[in-house]
Chains A and B, each alone.
Chain A
Amino acid sequence: MKILVAVKRVIDYNVQVRVKEDNTGVVTDNVKMSTNPPDDNAIEEAVKIKEAGKATEVIAVSIGEEKAQETVRKALAVGADKGILVKVDGVLEPLAVSKLLQKIVEKEKPDLVFMGKQAIDDDCNQTGQMLSALLNWPQATFASKIEIKDKKLEVTREIDEGLETIEINIPAIVTCDLRLNEPRYASLPNIMKAKKKPIEQLNASDLGVDTSPRIDQIKVEEPPKRKAGIKVSSVAELVQKLKNEAKVI
Protein backbone atom coordinates (compact mmCIF):
# COMPACT_ATOMS: atom_id res chain seq x y z
CA MET A 1 0.00 0.00 0.00
CA LYS A 2 1.19 3.47 -0.92
CA ILE A 3 0.42 6.60 1.11
CA LEU A 4 0.67 10.14 -0.25
CA VAL A 5 0.94 12.92 2.32
CA ALA A 6 0.41 16.61 1.49
CA VAL A 7 2.58 18.96 3.52
CA LYS A 8 2.28 22.72 3.44
CA ARG A 9 4.87 25.33 4.35
CA VAL A 10 3.38 28.01 6.59
CA ILE A 11 4.46 30.71 9.00
CA ASP A 12 5.53 28.97 12.21
CA TYR A 13 2.71 28.77 14.75
CA ASN A 14 4.82 30.56 17.37
CA VAL A 15 5.28 33.68 15.24
CA GLN A 16 3.19 36.69 16.15
CA VAL A 17 1.81 37.46 12.71
CA ARG A 18 1.86 41.12 11.65
CA VAL A 19 -0.18 42.83 8.98
CA LYS A 20 1.81 44.71 6.31
CA GLU A 21 1.55 48.47 6.46
CA ASP A 22 0.20 48.70 2.92
CA ASN A 23 -2.56 46.22 3.86
CA THR A 24 -1.68 43.79 1.06
CA GLY A 25 -1.04 40.82 3.31
CA VAL A 26 0.97 39.76 6.32
CA VAL A 27 4.71 40.14 6.81
CA THR A 28 6.50 37.01 5.57
CA ASP A 29 10.04 38.36 5.01
CA ASN A 30 12.52 37.02 7.56
CA VAL A 31 9.78 35.17 9.36
CA LYS A 32 10.30 31.61 10.57
CA MET A 33 8.47 29.08 8.42
CA SER A 34 7.64 25.46 9.28
CA THR A 35 5.42 22.59 8.33
CA ASN A 36 1.73 23.20 8.96
CA PRO A 37 1.30 21.47 12.38
CA PRO A 38 -1.40 18.88 11.53
CA ASP A 39 0.61 17.91 8.43
CA ASP A 40 3.28 16.64 10.83
CA ASN A 41 0.60 14.39 12.30
CA ALA A 42 -0.32 13.21 8.80
CA ILE A 43 3.30 12.25 8.04
CA GLU A 44 3.71 10.61 11.44
CA GLU A 45 0.63 8.45 10.91
CA ALA A 46 1.77 7.36 7.46
CA VAL A 47 5.24 6.48 8.73
CA LYS A 48 3.78 4.53 11.65
CA ILE A 49 1.59 2.53 9.28
CA LYS A 50 4.64 1.74 7.19
CA GLU A 51 6.63 0.72 10.27
CA ALA A 52 3.79 -1.61 11.24
CA GLY A 53 4.29 -3.33 7.89
CA LYS A 54 0.98 -2.18 6.45
CA ALA A 55 2.34 0.23 3.87
CA THR A 56 5.26 -0.05 1.48
CA GLU A 57 5.90 3.55 0.52
CA VAL A 58 5.26 7.04 1.91
CA ILE A 59 5.47 9.96 -0.52
CA ALA A 60 5.46 13.56 0.70
CA VAL A 61 4.22 16.28 -1.64
CA SER A 62 4.26 20.02 -1.23
CA ILE A 63 2.97 22.69 -3.55
CA GLY A 64 4.38 26.19 -3.53
CA GLU A 65 7.53 28.16 -4.06
CA GLU A 66 11.00 26.62 -4.33
CA LYS A 67 11.51 26.90 -0.58
CA ALA A 68 8.69 24.46 0.09
CA GLN A 69 11.44 21.93 -0.64
CA GLU A 70 12.51 22.35 3.00
CA THR A 71 9.10 21.13 4.09
CA VAL A 72 9.43 18.07 1.87
CA ARG A 73 12.95 17.41 3.24
CA LYS A 74 11.62 17.52 6.77
CA ALA A 75 9.03 14.89 5.89
CA LEU A 76 11.80 12.75 4.40
CA ALA A 77 13.80 13.14 7.61
CA VAL A 78 11.01 11.65 9.71
CA GLY A 79 10.50 8.69 7.45
CA ALA A 80 8.90 9.50 4.09
CA ASP A 81 10.62 7.62 1.26
CA LYS A 82 10.29 10.05 -1.60
CA GLY A 83 9.34 13.67 -2.12
CA ILE A 84 7.55 15.68 -4.76
CA LEU A 85 7.62 19.45 -5.10
CA VAL A 86 5.16 21.14 -7.41
CA LYS A 87 6.48 24.62 -8.04
CA VAL A 88 3.99 27.44 -8.19
CA ASP A 89 4.73 31.08 -7.49
CA GLY A 90 2.11 33.40 -6.10
CA VAL A 91 -1.29 32.87 -4.64
CA LEU A 92 -2.72 29.37 -4.52
CA GLU A 93 -6.26 28.63 -3.49
CA PRO A 94 -7.36 25.27 -2.08
CA LEU A 95 -9.26 24.49 -5.30
CA ALA A 96 -6.03 24.81 -7.32
CA VAL A 97 -4.05 22.85 -4.71
CA SER A 98 -6.60 20.04 -4.84
CA LYS A 99 -6.50 19.96 -8.66
CA LEU A 100 -2.71 19.68 -8.57
CA LEU A 101 -2.93 16.95 -5.94
CA GLN A 102 -5.45 15.14 -8.14
CA LYS A 103 -2.84 15.03 -10.93
CA ILE A 104 -0.23 13.72 -8.51
CA VAL A 105 -2.66 11.04 -7.33
CA GLU A 106 -3.32 9.99 -10.93
CA LYS A 107 0.42 9.75 -11.50
CA GLU A 108 1.51 8.04 -8.26
CA LYS A 109 -1.63 5.95 -7.69
CA PRO A 110 -1.56 5.98 -3.88
CA ASP A 111 -4.12 3.98 -1.89
CA LEU A 112 -4.43 6.66 0.75
CA VAL A 113 -3.89 10.41 0.87
CA PHE A 114 -3.27 11.96 4.29
CA MET A 115 -3.39 15.70 4.87
CA GLY A 116 -3.86 18.20 7.66
CA LYS A 117 -7.41 19.14 8.65
CA GLN A 118 -6.67 22.82 8.15
CA ALA A 119 -3.75 25.03 7.39
CA ILE A 120 -3.03 27.46 10.19
CA ASP A 121 -2.37 30.40 7.86
CA ASP A 122 -5.53 30.65 5.77
CA ASP A 123 -7.61 28.39 8.01
CA CYS A 124 -9.57 27.32 4.93
CA ASN A 125 -10.21 23.72 5.90
CA GLN A 126 -11.04 22.76 2.31
CA THR A 127 -8.27 21.03 0.43
CA GLY A 128 -8.83 17.43 1.56
CA GLN A 129 -12.56 17.53 0.99
CA MET A 130 -12.07 19.12 -2.44
CA LEU A 131 -9.56 16.47 -3.45
CA SER A 132 -11.91 13.68 -2.43
CA ALA A 133 -14.72 15.28 -4.42
CA LEU A 134 -12.50 15.53 -7.50
CA LEU A 135 -11.43 11.89 -7.15
CA ASN A 136 -14.88 10.76 -5.99
CA TRP A 137 -13.18 9.01 -3.08
CA PRO A 138 -14.52 8.72 0.47
CA GLN A 139 -13.31 11.32 2.96
CA ALA A 140 -12.63 11.09 6.68
CA THR A 141 -12.05 14.60 7.97
CA PHE A 142 -10.76 15.77 11.41
CA ALA A 143 -9.38 12.30 12.23
CA SER A 144 -8.15 11.62 15.75
CA LYS A 145 -7.81 7.82 15.33
CA ILE A 146 -7.19 5.61 12.31
CA GLU A 147 -7.36 1.82 12.22
CA ILE A 148 -6.53 -0.14 9.10
CA LYS A 149 -8.77 -3.13 8.48
CA ASP A 150 -7.92 -4.97 5.29
CA LYS A 151 -9.21 -2.80 2.43
CA LYS A 152 -10.98 -0.46 4.82
CA LEU A 153 -10.18 2.20 7.37
CA GLU A 154 -12.05 2.81 10.57
CA VAL A 155 -11.66 6.46 11.47
CA THR A 156 -12.71 8.39 14.57
CA ARG A 157 -13.58 11.98 13.70
CA GLU A 158 -13.72 14.97 16.02
CA ILE A 159 -17.02 16.76 15.48
CA ASP A 160 -18.75 19.59 17.34
CA GLU A 161 -20.99 17.17 19.21
CA GLY A 162 -18.18 14.82 20.31
CA LEU A 163 -16.79 11.90 18.31
CA GLU A 164 -17.99 10.06 15.23
CA THR A 165 -16.73 6.77 13.82
CA ILE A 166 -16.96 5.92 10.15
CA GLU A 167 -15.67 3.15 7.94
CA ILE A 168 -14.34 4.03 4.52
CA ASN A 169 -13.13 1.90 1.65
CA ILE A 170 -9.63 2.35 0.30
CA PRO A 171 -8.71 4.40 -1.74
CA ALA A 172 -9.58 7.28 0.55
CA ILE A 173 -8.61 10.71 1.86
CA VAL A 174 -8.01 11.37 5.55
CA THR A 175 -7.51 14.84 7.06
CA CYS A 176 -5.74 14.75 10.40
CA ASP A 177 -6.33 16.47 13.72
CA LEU A 178 -3.45 17.34 16.05
CA ARG A 179 -4.66 14.69 18.50
CA LEU A 180 -4.08 11.84 16.03
CA ASN A 181 -0.58 11.12 17.32
CA GLU A 182 2.60 12.66 18.70
CA PRO A 183 4.89 13.57 15.78
CA ARG A 184 8.50 12.49 16.24
CA TYR A 185 11.52 14.72 15.90
CA ALA A 186 14.01 14.03 13.14
CA SER A 187 17.30 12.63 14.42
CA LEU A 188 20.54 14.03 13.04
CA PRO A 189 21.48 10.81 11.17
CA ASN A 190 18.01 10.76 9.62
CA ILE A 191 18.32 14.40 8.58
CA MET A 192 21.59 13.47 6.85
CA LYS A 193 19.99 10.45 5.19
CA ALA A 194 17.07 12.55 4.02
CA LYS A 195 19.46 14.68 1.99
CA LYS A 196 20.07 11.66 -0.25
CA LYS A 197 16.41 10.81 -0.74
CA PRO A 198 14.93 11.86 -4.11
CA ILE A 199 12.70 14.90 -4.56
CA GLU A 200 10.99 15.10 -7.91
CA GLN A 201 10.34 18.64 -9.10
CA LEU A 202 7.40 19.54 -11.29
CA ASN A 203 5.75 22.72 -12.50
CA ALA A 204 2.04 23.36 -12.23
CA SER A 205 1.99 24.01 -15.97
CA ASP A 206 3.48 20.54 -16.64
CA LEU A 207 0.45 19.13 -14.92
CA GLY A 208 -1.95 21.14 -17.05
CA VAL A 209 -3.69 22.84 -14.15
CA ASP A 210 -4.79 26.45 -14.26
CA THR A 211 -3.95 27.84 -10.83
CA SER A 212 -5.01 31.43 -11.40
CA PRO A 213 -6.87 32.78 -8.37
CA ARG A 214 -10.64 33.08 -8.37
CA ILE A 215 -10.62 35.25 -5.31
CA ASP A 216 -9.22 38.79 -5.07
CA GLN A 217 -7.71 39.63 -1.75
CA ILE A 218 -8.71 43.27 -1.56
CA LYS A 219 -7.03 44.12 1.71
CA VAL A 220 -5.69 42.64 4.92
CA GLU A 221 -6.14 44.58 8.14
CA GLU A 222 -5.39 44.34 11.82
CA PRO A 223 -8.38 43.12 13.76
CA PRO A 224 -9.93 45.69 16.09
CA LYS A 225 -7.98 45.85 19.37
CA ARG A 226 -9.60 45.24 22.73
CA LYS A 227 -9.31 48.13 25.09
CA ALA A 228 -6.96 47.48 27.96
CA GLY A 229 -8.50 45.93 31.04
CA ILE A 230 -7.63 46.15 34.72
CA LYS A 231 -6.23 43.85 37.35
CA VAL A 232 -8.41 43.22 40.37
CA SER A 233 -6.90 42.47 43.75
CA SER A 234 -9.37 39.96 45.13
CA VAL A 235 -12.14 37.59 44.18
CA ALA A 236 -14.63 39.78 46.04
CA GLU A 237 -13.63 42.77 43.92
CA LEU A 238 -13.91 40.68 40.75
CA VAL A 239 -17.44 39.59 41.59
CA GLN A 240 -18.47 43.15 42.46
CA LYS A 241 -17.10 44.43 39.11
CA LEU A 242 -18.84 41.69 37.17
CA LYS A 243 -22.08 42.45 38.89
CA ASN A 244 -22.11 46.24 39.12
CA GLU A 245 -19.78 47.48 36.37
CA ALA A 246 -19.96 44.89 33.57
CA LYS A 247 -23.41 43.69 34.64
CA VAL A 248 -22.83 40.19 33.29
CA ILE A 249 -23.72 38.15 36.38
Chain B
Amino acid sequence: MAVLLIAEHNNKELKPFTLNAVTAASQIDPEVHAVIIGKDCEEGAKALSQLPLVKKVIHVEAAHYENFVAENFAPVIVKLADNYSHIVCSANTFGKNLMPRIAAALDTSQISDIIKVISPDTFLRPIYAGNAFATVKSKDAKKCVTIRPTSFDPCESTGGSASIEKAEAGEEFMHTKFIKREEIKSDRPELGTARVVISGGRGMQNGDNFKLITSIADKLNAAIGASRAAVDAGYISNDHQVGQTGKVVVPDLYIAVGISGAIQHLAGMKESKIIVAINKDGEAPIFSVADYGLEADLFEALPQFLEELNKLNTIQK
Protein backbone atom coordinates (compact mmCIF):
# COMPACT_ATOMS: atom_id res chain seq x y z
CA MET B 1 0.00 0.00 0.00
CA ALA B 2 1.03 3.60 -0.48
CA VAL B 3 1.49 6.65 1.75
CA LEU B 4 -0.92 9.57 1.50
CA LEU B 5 0.69 12.95 2.09
CA ILE B 6 -1.57 15.89 2.89
CA ALA B 7 -0.17 19.00 1.20
CA GLU B 8 -0.15 22.32 3.01
CA HIS B 9 -0.67 25.32 0.75
CA ASN B 10 -2.36 28.72 0.59
CA ASN B 11 -4.52 28.05 -2.51
CA LYS B 12 -1.85 29.70 -4.66
CA GLU B 13 1.28 27.77 -3.90
CA LEU B 14 2.60 24.97 -1.72
CA LYS B 15 3.92 25.88 1.71
CA PRO B 16 7.67 25.16 1.77
CA PHE B 17 7.35 22.54 4.53
CA THR B 18 5.24 20.36 2.25
CA LEU B 19 8.54 19.44 0.55
CA ASN B 20 10.03 18.30 3.86
CA ALA B 21 6.92 16.24 4.59
CA VAL B 22 7.22 14.55 1.17
CA THR B 23 10.77 13.52 2.03
CA ALA B 24 9.59 11.96 5.30
CA ALA B 25 6.71 10.21 3.53
CA SER B 26 9.09 8.73 0.95
CA GLN B 27 11.24 7.30 3.74
CA ILE B 28 8.19 5.40 5.02
CA ASP B 29 7.28 4.02 1.58
CA PRO B 30 8.50 5.11 -1.86
CA GLU B 31 4.95 5.02 -3.23
CA VAL B 32 3.91 8.54 -2.17
CA HIS B 33 0.58 10.00 -3.24
CA ALA B 34 -0.17 13.60 -2.35
CA VAL B 35 -3.60 15.10 -1.79
CA ILE B 36 -4.32 18.80 -2.10
CA ILE B 37 -7.63 20.17 -0.84
CA GLY B 38 -8.56 23.79 -1.42
CA LYS B 39 -10.32 26.39 -3.51
CA ASP B 40 -8.81 27.23 -6.90
CA CYS B 41 -5.62 25.43 -5.98
CA GLU B 42 -4.72 24.04 -9.44
CA GLU B 43 -1.30 25.67 -9.23
CA GLY B 44 -0.56 23.81 -6.03
CA ALA B 45 -1.68 20.54 -7.61
CA LYS B 46 0.62 21.19 -10.54
CA ALA B 47 3.55 21.98 -8.24
CA LEU B 48 2.93 18.71 -6.39
CA SER B 49 2.93 16.75 -9.64
CA GLN B 50 6.39 18.14 -10.39
CA LEU B 51 7.93 16.71 -7.22
CA PRO B 52 9.87 13.66 -8.44
CA LEU B 53 9.10 11.75 -5.21
CA VAL B 54 5.34 12.08 -5.71
CA LYS B 55 3.79 9.27 -7.78
CA LYS B 56 0.22 10.55 -7.95
CA VAL B 57 -1.65 13.73 -7.03
CA ILE B 58 -5.24 13.83 -5.83
CA HIS B 59 -6.88 17.22 -6.23
CA VAL B 60 -10.07 18.10 -4.33
CA GLU B 61 -11.79 21.42 -4.98
CA ALA B 62 -14.68 23.23 -3.33
CA ALA B 63 -15.47 26.74 -2.11
CA HIS B 64 -15.72 25.52 1.47
CA TYR B 65 -12.09 24.34 1.39
CA GLU B 66 -10.78 27.88 1.02
CA ASN B 67 -9.87 28.32 4.68
CA PHE B 68 -8.53 24.89 5.64
CA VAL B 69 -11.21 24.14 8.24
CA ALA B 70 -10.30 20.74 9.72
CA GLU B 71 -13.95 19.77 10.09
CA ASN B 72 -14.26 20.00 6.28
CA PHE B 73 -10.91 18.42 5.43
CA ALA B 74 -10.95 15.36 7.71
CA PRO B 75 -13.86 13.50 6.01
CA VAL B 76 -12.16 13.88 2.60
CA ILE B 77 -9.01 12.17 3.87
CA VAL B 78 -10.96 9.52 5.76
CA LYS B 79 -12.75 8.61 2.51
CA LEU B 80 -9.43 8.24 0.66
CA ALA B 81 -7.76 6.35 3.52
CA ASP B 82 -8.86 2.85 2.44
CA ASN B 83 -6.10 2.72 -0.14
CA TYR B 84 -3.28 3.81 2.16
CA SER B 85 -1.18 2.34 4.94
CA HIS B 86 -0.06 5.75 6.26
CA ILE B 87 -1.46 9.29 6.30
CA VAL B 88 1.30 11.87 6.72
CA CYS B 89 1.32 15.63 7.31
CA SER B 90 3.56 18.34 8.79
CA ALA B 91 3.35 18.94 12.55
CA ASN B 92 2.67 22.65 12.24
CA THR B 93 -0.58 24.33 13.24
CA PHE B 94 -2.26 23.11 10.01
CA GLY B 95 -1.37 19.46 10.60
CA LYS B 96 -1.79 19.58 14.37
CA ASN B 97 -5.31 20.87 13.92
CA LEU B 98 -6.26 18.34 11.25
CA MET B 99 -4.55 14.98 11.78
CA PRO B 100 -6.06 13.97 15.15
CA ARG B 101 -9.52 14.43 13.65
CA ILE B 102 -8.60 11.95 10.93
CA ALA B 103 -6.93 9.53 13.34
CA ALA B 104 -9.93 9.45 15.67
CA ALA B 105 -12.29 8.83 12.76
CA LEU B 106 -10.08 5.94 11.60
CA ASP B 107 -9.71 4.67 15.18
CA THR B 108 -5.94 4.80 15.08
CA SER B 109 -3.50 6.15 17.65
CA GLN B 110 -1.67 9.07 16.03
CA ILE B 111 2.09 9.47 16.29
CA SER B 112 2.90 13.18 16.56
CA ASP B 113 5.92 15.20 15.54
CA ILE B 114 8.37 12.48 14.46
CA ILE B 115 11.98 13.46 13.83
CA LYS B 116 13.11 10.19 12.22
CA VAL B 117 11.65 7.26 10.31
CA ILE B 118 13.24 4.09 11.69
CA SER B 119 11.02 1.67 9.76
CA PRO B 120 7.50 1.93 8.31
CA ASP B 121 6.00 1.32 11.76
CA THR B 122 8.71 2.68 14.07
CA PHE B 123 9.58 6.31 14.60
CA LEU B 124 11.66 8.60 16.80
CA ARG B 125 9.92 11.53 18.51
CA PRO B 126 10.91 14.05 21.15
CA ILE B 127 8.94 14.13 24.41
CA TYR B 128 9.13 16.43 27.44
CA ALA B 129 10.13 19.45 25.38
CA GLY B 130 12.95 17.51 23.75
CA ASN B 131 14.48 16.37 27.03
CA ALA B 132 13.97 12.78 25.95
CA PHE B 133 13.67 10.97 22.63
CA ALA B 134 11.17 8.10 22.46
CA THR B 135 11.30 5.29 19.93
CA VAL B 136 7.71 4.25 19.33
CA LYS B 137 6.18 1.46 17.27
CA SER B 138 2.63 1.64 15.99
CA LYS B 139 0.50 -1.49 16.17
CA ASP B 140 -2.39 0.04 14.23
CA ALA B 141 -3.05 -1.25 10.72
CA LYS B 142 -3.37 2.30 9.43
CA LYS B 143 -0.94 4.87 10.76
CA CYS B 144 -1.45 8.60 11.13
CA VAL B 145 1.88 10.39 11.51
CA THR B 146 2.79 14.06 11.75
CA ILE B 147 6.38 14.98 11.01
CA ARG B 148 8.58 17.75 12.34
CA PRO B 149 9.50 19.49 9.08
CA THR B 150 12.84 20.87 10.22
CA SER B 151 14.09 17.33 10.85
CA PHE B 152 13.78 16.36 7.17
CA ASP B 153 15.34 17.97 4.11
CA PRO B 154 13.05 19.44 1.49
CA CYS B 155 12.62 17.17 -1.55
CA GLU B 156 13.55 18.06 -5.12
CA SER B 157 10.87 20.41 -6.49
CA THR B 158 11.17 19.92 -10.23
CA GLY B 159 11.47 17.15 -12.78
CA GLY B 160 8.51 15.02 -11.80
CA SER B 161 5.37 14.43 -13.84
CA ALA B 162 2.86 12.64 -11.66
CA SER B 163 -0.72 12.31 -12.86
CA ILE B 164 -3.30 14.59 -11.28
CA GLU B 165 -6.60 12.94 -10.43
CA LYS B 166 -9.66 14.86 -9.30
CA ALA B 167 -11.57 13.48 -6.35
CA GLU B 168 -15.06 14.40 -5.29
CA ALA B 169 -15.53 17.07 -2.62
CA GLY B 170 -17.33 16.31 0.61
CA GLU B 171 -20.14 18.20 2.28
CA GLU B 172 -19.61 21.40 4.18
CA PHE B 173 -19.57 21.21 8.00
CA MET B 174 -22.09 23.85 9.00
CA HIS B 175 -21.07 24.48 12.61
CA THR B 176 -17.70 26.11 12.00
CA LYS B 177 -17.42 29.39 10.17
CA PHE B 178 -14.17 31.02 9.19
CA ILE B 179 -14.15 34.76 9.87
CA LYS B 180 -10.70 36.16 9.23
CA ARG B 181 -7.00 35.54 9.24
CA GLU B 182 -4.52 38.19 10.30
CA GLU B 183 -1.27 37.20 8.65
CA ILE B 184 1.74 39.20 9.53
CA LYS B 185 3.37 39.85 6.17
CA SER B 186 7.03 40.62 5.98
CA ASP B 187 9.82 40.52 3.42
CA ARG B 188 12.03 38.66 5.82
CA PRO B 189 12.73 34.93 5.46
CA GLU B 190 10.24 32.68 7.24
CA LEU B 191 11.17 31.71 10.77
CA GLY B 192 10.91 27.98 10.05
CA THR B 193 13.20 27.98 7.03
CA ALA B 194 15.57 30.92 7.62
CA ARG B 195 19.31 30.24 7.62
CA VAL B 196 19.83 32.78 10.38
CA VAL B 197 17.46 33.57 13.25
CA ILE B 198 17.93 36.31 15.83
CA SER B 199 15.58 36.20 18.81
CA GLY B 200 14.86 38.62 21.62
CA GLY B 201 13.55 37.86 25.10
CA ARG B 202 12.31 39.66 28.16
CA GLY B 203 15.71 41.34 28.39
CA MET B 204 14.66 43.56 25.45
CA GLN B 205 12.41 45.44 27.94
CA ASN B 206 9.91 46.69 25.33
CA GLY B 207 8.75 46.37 21.74
CA ASP B 208 10.55 49.49 20.65
CA ASN B 209 13.93 48.02 21.56
CA PHE B 210 13.29 45.17 19.10
CA LYS B 211 14.52 47.71 16.52
CA LEU B 212 18.01 46.77 17.67
CA ILE B 213 17.25 43.19 16.63
CA THR B 214 15.54 44.23 13.39
CA SER B 215 18.52 46.18 12.13
CA ILE B 216 20.83 43.20 12.68
CA ALA B 217 18.27 40.88 11.07
CA ASP B 218 18.28 43.17 8.03
CA LYS B 219 22.06 42.90 7.79
CA LEU B 220 22.12 39.11 8.14
CA ASN B 221 18.94 38.44 6.14
CA ALA B 222 17.66 36.75 9.27
CA ALA B 223 14.22 35.86 10.57
CA ILE B 224 13.18 37.31 13.92
CA GLY B 225 12.25 35.07 16.82
CA ALA B 226 11.22 35.67 20.40
CA SER B 227 10.75 33.94 23.73
CA ARG B 228 7.29 33.39 25.09
CA ALA B 229 7.96 36.03 27.75
CA ALA B 230 8.60 38.62 25.02
CA VAL B 231 5.41 37.66 23.18
CA ASP B 232 3.33 37.56 26.37
CA ALA B 233 4.60 41.03 27.29
CA GLY B 234 3.42 42.29 23.89
CA TYR B 235 6.86 43.20 22.52
CA ILE B 236 6.18 41.19 19.35
CA SER B 237 3.41 39.05 17.80
CA ASN B 238 2.79 35.35 18.54
CA ASP B 239 3.97 34.07 15.14
CA HIS B 240 7.55 34.85 16.27
CA GLN B 241 7.54 32.58 19.32
CA VAL B 242 10.18 29.87 19.38
CA GLY B 243 9.86 26.92 21.74
CA GLN B 244 7.82 23.99 23.01
CA THR B 245 4.56 25.83 22.51
CA GLY B 246 5.77 27.94 19.59
CA LYS B 247 7.83 27.11 16.53
CA VAL B 248 10.79 24.81 16.16
CA VAL B 249 13.71 26.29 14.23
CA VAL B 250 16.95 24.70 13.06
CA PRO B 251 18.94 27.49 11.40
CA ASP B 252 22.68 27.51 10.71
CA LEU B 253 22.96 30.41 13.16
CA TYR B 254 20.65 31.19 16.10
CA ILE B 255 21.33 34.32 18.12
CA ALA B 256 19.54 34.54 21.48
CA VAL B 257 19.50 38.01 22.97
CA GLY B 258 18.23 38.68 26.50
CA ILE B 259 16.81 35.15 26.70
CA SER B 260 17.52 33.09 29.82
CA GLY B 261 17.26 29.67 28.16
CA ALA B 262 14.30 27.98 29.88
CA ILE B 263 13.84 24.37 28.72
CA GLN B 264 10.64 25.35 26.93
CA HIS B 265 12.60 27.84 24.85
CA LEU B 266 15.51 25.45 24.23
CA ALA B 267 12.99 22.89 22.92
CA GLY B 268 12.51 25.13 19.90
CA MET B 269 16.09 25.98 18.99
CA LYS B 270 18.69 23.69 20.49
CA GLU B 271 19.17 21.70 17.29
CA SER B 272 20.47 24.86 15.56
CA LYS B 273 23.91 24.42 14.05
CA ILE B 274 25.59 27.36 15.77
CA ILE B 275 24.07 29.07 18.81
CA VAL B 276 25.11 32.49 20.06
CA ALA B 277 23.91 33.84 23.40
CA ILE B 278 24.10 37.46 24.47
CA ASN B 279 23.10 37.82 28.10
CA LYS B 280 24.31 39.95 31.00
CA ASP B 281 23.91 37.10 33.50
CA GLY B 282 26.91 34.79 33.20
CA GLU B 283 24.95 32.01 34.93
CA ALA B 284 22.01 32.07 32.49
CA PRO B 285 21.22 28.52 31.31
CA ILE B 286 21.29 29.64 27.67
CA PHE B 287 25.10 29.62 27.90
CA SER B 288 25.04 25.84 28.44
CA VAL B 289 23.85 25.31 24.85
CA ALA B 290 25.70 28.24 23.26
CA ASP B 291 28.70 27.66 20.99
CA TYR B 292 29.65 31.29 21.52
CA GLY B 293 28.52 33.12 24.64
CA LEU B 294 28.92 36.82 25.17
CA GLU B 295 28.32 38.03 28.71
CA ALA B 296 27.33 41.63 28.09
CA ASP B 297 24.59 44.21 28.30
CA LEU B 298 22.60 43.81 25.13
CA PHE B 299 22.04 47.55 24.83
CA GLU B 300 25.77 47.95 24.36
CA ALA B 301 26.44 44.71 22.51
CA LEU B 302 23.78 45.00 19.80
CA PRO B 303 24.87 48.42 18.45
CA GLN B 304 28.48 47.16 18.45
CA PHE B 305 27.40 44.00 16.67
CA LEU B 306 25.74 46.07 13.96
CA GLU B 307 28.85 48.20 13.64
CA GLU B 308 31.10 45.13 13.27
CA LEU B 309 28.77 43.68 10.64
CA ASN B 310 28.90 46.97 8.75
CA LYS B 311 32.69 46.85 8.87
CA LEU B 312 32.67 43.32 7.44
CA ASN B 313 30.51 44.46 4.59
CA THR B 314 32.82 47.32 3.68
CA ILE B 315 35.81 44.98 3.71
CA GLN B 316 33.97 42.54 1.46
CA LYS B 317 33.05 45.34 -0.94
Contacts and interface: CB of A to CB of B under 8 A. Distances in A.
Interface of A: 11, 13, 16-19, 26, 38, 93-95, 98, 117-118, 120-134, 137-139, 141-142, 144, 154, 157-169, 172, 177-179, 213-223, 226, 229-232, 234-236, 238-239, 241-243, 246, 248-249
Given A94-B109, A126-B110, A215-B109, A243 B312 contact: yes
Given A120-B264, A226-B275, 20 more contacts: A11-B128, A13-B264, A95-B107, A118-B245, A122-B127, A133-B100, A139-B97, A141-B97, A157-B93, A160-B94, A165-B179, A166-B178, A215-B138, A220-B132, A223-B131, A226-B291, A238-B276, A239-B308, A249-B220, A249-B309
B93 A158 contact: yes
A74 to B, nearest CB: 21
Nearest to A161: B183
A133 B304 contact: no
B292 A232 contact: yes
Given A231-B294, A232-B294, A241-B292, A162 B181 contact: yes
B44 to A, nearest CB: 16
B274 interface: yes
B112 A162 contact: no
Given A214-B138, A230-B293, A162 B184 contact: yes
18 contacts: A121-B128, A125-B96, A125-B100, A127-B100, A138-B175, A142-B96, A164-B182, A165-B181, A166-B176, A213-B109, A213-B139, A214-B109, A223-B132, A229-B290, A229-B291, A235-B305, A235-B308, A246-B291
B312 to A, nearest CB: 7
User: Interface majority SS on A: helix, strand, loop or mixed?
Assistant: mixed
B236 to A, nearest CB: 12
Given A214-B108, A220-B127, A238 B136 contact: no
A133 B74 contact: yes
User: Chain B contact residues (Cβ within 8 angstroms of A): what range?
Assistant: 35 or more
Q: Which 10 A-B pairs have the closest CB atoms?
A: A129-B100, A130-B104, A214-B109, A133-B104, A126-B100, A229-B291, A235-B304, A169-B175, A248-B253, A239-B308
B164 interface: no
B135 A129 contact: no
Contact of B101 (A129, A144, A216): A129
Contacts of A18: 131
B299 interface: no
A139 B71 contact: yes
B293 A215 contact: no
B180 A164 contact: yes
Given A95-B110, A130-B104, A167 B179 contact: yes
Contacts of B196: 248-249
A163 B182 contact: yes
